[in-house]
Amino acid sequence: MRPFTVLLGILLGSAASITFGLGAVAIIFVIIVRLHPDLSPDLSPELPRLSVSLLVFAILTAFSASSFLGQLRARAWAFWAHLATATCLIGIFMLYWPRRA
């Protein structure tokens, strides 16, 4: 396996595990808000942010999976999958990079 394919595999595994973790936290938040309405003011404001994070990392997982498969099988469309993965990764960096107040 080529080094770039290994890096894409690491990125795919990391993105998939983050997506799974965020999904589990979202499910737990929804269950807790329904079972304990008194916690709703604390947890409800975080649900939209959690949903955005879940969506962004699910997209990264899909793009990195297509990029990994395209690289592994040496497909012609692999370049476009790499470009989509890099664009999504840069977008995530820009979204979560700390800003000065």
Cβ of 64: how many Cβ atoms within 10 Å?
26
Contact 15, 64 (CB under 8 A): yes
Domain ranges (residues) in the chain: 3-96
Task: Report CA torsion sign: 9, 11, 14, 16.
Answer: negative
Q: How far apart are CA 25 and CA 47, in angstroms?
A: 10
Cβ of 100: how many Cβ atoms within 10 Å?
3
pLDDT in tens, 16-59: 999 999 999 999 888 888 888 887 787 778 888 899 999 999 99
Please state the pTM of the whole predicted model.
0.87
- Joined together, the tokens standing for residue 87 give 């664009």
